[in-house]
Amino acid sequence: MSFADMSVSPSNPSISSSLSGSSLLVAWQLKGKTVLIVGGGEVASGRIEAVLSADAKIIVLAPAKGLHPRTKRFIELCPDRVTYYDRRFSGPAELYKMDMVLTALDDPSSSRQIVELCREQRIPVNAADIPDLCDFYFGAQIRDGPLQIMISTNGSGPRIAALLKSKLSGALGGYEGEAITRVGELRERLKERAPGIGGAVSRRRMKWMSQLCNEWDMEDLTQLDHAMIARLLDEGWELNRVPSLRDLGGKPKVKQGKDNPQSTIQDLNAILHSGSTVLPATLGFIAGGVSIALLLMYHRR
Amino acid sequence: MSFADMSVSPSNPSISSSLSGSSLLVAWQLKGKTVLIVGGGEVASGRIEAVLSADAKIIVLAPAKGLHPRTKRFIELCPDRVTYYDRRFSGPAELYKMDMVLTALDDPSSSRQIVELCREQRIPVNAADIPDLCDFYFGAQIRDGPLQIMISTNGSGPRIAALLKSKLSGALGGYEGEAITRVGELRERLKERAPGIGGAVSRRRMKWMSQLCNEWDMEDLTQLDHAMIARLLDEGWELNRVPSLRDLGGKPKVKQGKDNPQSTIQDLNAILHSGSTVLPATLGFIAGGVSIALLLMYHRR
């Protein structure tokens, strides 16, 4: 059940219990920020990757002998963004100008010490494998361009999170990231044409964008190139309507049955109950005919 | 593509581009924390719900005339956790002892002023509808007990995020939250039996738990009650093996084809290429036989 779907009324006894026990899932912005990663093993390498993807600068503190090959490769690959020091965490001075700290150590007491120093300076901190010390947890992630999906089990089952990641990846069509990119581009062009934050124009923009996303197939949104965006704004936004892809000279993609998780089943059911039974039925008809013909011919002799 | 799946090598040209442009998705912990929400409209009501679910205390600042009915109901429903003040944000003193601040105002300049005060005090802050001012964004969410899924479009398409939420919800079987709860319970019992953070015991625990989650169907994990957990630890962990559900006296649920997004297609393909073709083939055989028999009999007359 999602937050948005939850009906709230004092007479609903399920409300109080659902209003607890979860985390606040957020997409943290790290552009222009600096993140300290203490440790260089396999877990640290995953942290480096996630933090690099979020456009942060990184300081890695770890003795060279414990570096995971992936950690080494990130340090080599991004020398302008990853600064590596071949030593352990030495004290509070390491935290100077840090915006976030992640520890990935096999030594809980060192982690605890670092976390306490971070708390004093209000620096958000995560200590791998020690949930009690964390301001925030990580989860399994799916990424496709601007689309990011996080699966969090609130610390109860990292392996299940990984399994759910495969399942949910399989439910995606592979075009969602591109559709989001194109819609983001359209939104930017629309804001140039009808600027303003808050108020009536903001609401009208939001409503028109929503209507477009509802009426078009998600896959068709990937066809929104510069020319089509211009036409969509001229012939849609300006006239307060949502033209179809065909109206704009586009051709809807052949449905792959991916947009709706049910549709694959429906498509195959349709095949089962129509087209694909033609072949076995036809072969059966021929086989039956030939058999009876041979039988009758045999009897006639 | 997920972070974990990404192969990293300097010879792979796609790496550099994929190592940017995203957010760091995290599950923020708010238990025992206090969150200031400035505004009381529809957006604020969604924020209150998300923050309440994460077990935080909340201060709401908003003139009474602008309160959304849902905001009012949360204030009435949780008087011990939501403190409401019928006024606007008045200045830096409002931030005293706040762990996080969320603004949901129609007035960008007020939001900007609040955000600047938060920055000075290193308080994480989100200003609704003004991405440039945010330390973090929200996304569409799915929740099922301890399972939380966030869909973030990095600000490019909130409506697409909502559509993807429906799609991904449809790909879930409805038992995942319960499975995670049971596995969490098992993990706790296992930690009591084999305590320790980090080191060999921690790795052995992690490996055994992973093996269990891989070998059992996710739906079957929901059958892990207290008695079965005890047997699983005695007959599994202690003997360094993973017993099946049947070994423990449980009965696997009938597969609904939900665990693996491919399995529905595989199941139906199997039907297409075996069982279900028998009926049309048989009917075809009979029809063919009867037709030829009638034809030959007609010719004989």
A26 to B29: CB separation less than 8 angstroms, yes or no: no
For CA atoms A63, A65, A70, A72, the dihedral sign is: positive
Q: Please name the residues between 187 and 246 in chain A that touch chain B, using a CB distance below 8 Å.
A: 187, 197-199, 202, 209-210, 213-214, 218, 221
> Which among A55, A86, A106, A129 is annotated as catalytic?
A129
- Distance of residue A249 Cα from the nearest chain B Cα, in angstroms: 23
Whether the Cβ atoms of residue B158 and residue A160 lie closer than 8 Å to each other: no
CATH code for the part of the protein at B34-138: 3.40.50.720
Chain A residues touching residue B136 (CB < 8 angstroms): 26-29
Which residue of A23, A179, A285 is in closest CB contact with B160? A179
Distance from the Cα of A240 to chain B's closest Cα (Å) equals: 18
Mean pLDDT of the B52-75 span = 97
- More confident site: A155 or B249: B249
- The CA distance from B105 to B129, in Å, is 9
Best residue in A156, A187, A299 for a mutation probing chain B (most B CBs within 10 Å): A156
Q: What is the pLDDT of residue B232?
A: 97
A-chain CB neighbours of B163 within 8 Å are: 213-214, 218
Domain topology for A139-172: Double Stranded RNA Binding Domain (3.30.160)
Contacts A221 to B, Cβ<8 Å: 160
The ipTM estimated for the assembled molecules is 0.78
Quick: pLDDT tens for B190-239.
999 999 877 889 889 999 999 999 999 999 999 999 999 999 999 999 99
Q: How many helices (H) and strands (E) does chain B have?
A: 10, 9
Cβ-nearest to A153 among B3, B153, B180: B180
Whether the pLDDT of residue B11 is over 90: the answer is: no
| Among the listed residues B179, B185, B195, the one whose alpha carbon sits nearest the alpha carbon of residue B230 | B185
Distance CA B175, CA B56 (A): 27
- pLDDT given for residue B298 in this prediction: 66
* Residue B29 to residue A135, Cβ atoms within 8 A: yes
pLDDT score at A219: 96
Q: What is the pLDDT of residue A282?
A: 60
Handedness of CA B89, B94, B95, B99 (dihedral sign): negative
Query: Phi and psi (nearest 5°) for A142?
Result: -120, 135
Q: What are the tens digits of pLDDT across the range B124-182?
A: 999 998 889 999 999 999 999 999 999 999 877 789 999 999 999 999 999 999 999 99
Ramachandran quadrant class, A45 (left: phi over 0; alpha: psi -120 to 50; beta: rest) = alpha
pLDDT for position A274: 40
Give, for all 301 residues of chain A, the pLDDT tens digit: 333 434 444 344 345 557 888 999 999 999 999 999 999 999 999 999 999 999 999 999 999 999 999 999 999 999 999 999 999 999 999 999 999 999 999 899 999 999 999 999 999 999 998 889 999 999 999 999 999 999 999 877 789 999 999 999 999 999 999 999 999 999 999 999 999 877 889 889 999 999 999 999 999 999 999 999 999 999 999 999 999 999 999 999 866 544 444 444 434 434 444 434 445 566 666 777 777 767 766 666 5
> Can you tell me which residue has the tokens 């399920």?
A14
Interface of A with B in 108-167 (CB under 8 A): 108, 121-124, 126, 129-130, 134-157, 159-160, 162-165, 167
B218:A163 CB<8 A: yes
Amino acid at B17: S
Average pLDDT, chain B: 86
In three-state secondary structure terms, B30 is coil
- Integer-rounded Cα Rg, in Å, for chain B is 29
Q: For residue A160, give the chain B residue with the closest CA.
A: B213
* A220 has catalytic annotation: no
Q: Which of B156, B181, B221, B258 to mutate to test the interface with A (most CBs of A within 10 A)?
A: B156
Q: Which of A35, A99, A149, A267 to mutate to test binding with chain B, by most B CBs within 10 Å of its CB? A: A149
Say yes or no for a CB contact (<8 Å) between A141 and B289. no
Vertex A213 angle, CA A209 and A217, to 5°: 155
State whether residue A176 is helix, strand or coil.
Answer: helix
| Phi, psi at B58, each rounded to 5° | -130, 140
Residues 33-92 of A with CB under 8 A from B: 46, 49-56, 70, 73-74, 76-78
Q: B88 to chain A nearest CA, in Å?
A: 18
| Percentage above 90 pLDDT, chain B | 71
B201 to chain A: nearest residue by CA?
A106
| B108-117, B148-157, B270-279: least confidently modelled range | B270-279
pLDDT at res. B265? 40
- Domain parsing of chain B, residue ranges: 34-138, 139-172, 175-248
Question: Which of the pair, A31 or B9, is modelled with greater confidence?
Answer: A31
Q: How far off is chain A from B301, nearest CA to CA, in Å?
A: 14
pLDDT of residue B156: 79
The string of pLDDT tens digits covering residues B69-86 is 999 999 999 999 999 999
Q: B191: burial class by Cβ within 10 Å (0-12, 13-18, 19+)?
A: middle
CB contact under 8 A, A290 and B290: no
Mutate to test the interface with A, among B5, B97, B149, B182 (most CBs of A within 10 A): B149
Decide if B271 and A272 are in contact by the 8 Å CB cutoff: yes
